Structure 1
């Protein structure tokens, strides 16, 4: 779901709120999540999942086109672990989706 789609859906569920207010609330929430992750905090959204920051060490990789060895620097990555509810819902619709193994 794209952010504008999220705003539209929330606005339909909460028609008493102006679309601009819903958009402001969504943007504030996302900004706070980004700020928390930027300082290394873990975020948990019950029933949805958790976000955390992981450090990846430097490593040697290979360019698949040329076969040349490349040094990749250390980096910080955001990790998402889905909660049980979201895993179960996604699993239950697997046969209806275009996802293949």
Structure 2
């Protein structure tokens, strides 16, 4: 399995793809991340063409079990961020 790409490696690759410097690419990456965070936190979703859809889903209150002690307790309702991967990305990885 390949190592995960770090932010600095991603910025360098993005700068190369854009044909610009790392500072501009880093600013663009930060702006996109901030925009996605703001939209998903507000309850919306963001679709990245060819990559997938990022959205927030609400989970209802539920009973869970502590695996260490076996004790059951009720966990409050919460929200979780999900991502659905685009078919194009799945196909490029598998084929």
Picking from 13, 17, 30, the partner of 2:17 is 13
Q: For the residues of structure 2 that align with 1:53 and 1:38, how far apart are their CA atoms?
A: 7
Q: How many residues align?
A: 91
CA-based RMSD of the aligned residues comes to 1.2
Q: Which runs of 4+ in 1 moved over 6 A?
A: none
Q: Is there any run of 5+ residues in structure 1 with no aligned partner, and where?
A: 93-101
Structure 2 residue aligned with 1:4: 8
TM-score by length of 1: 0.82
TM-score by length of 2: 0.87
Aligned partner of residue 66 in structure 1, secondary structure: coil
Over residues 4-34 of structure 1, what are the superposed CA-to-partner deviations in whole Å (9 max), with x where a residue is unaligned? 221011122334x221111011000110010
Aligned partner of residue 47 in structure 1, secondary structure: coil
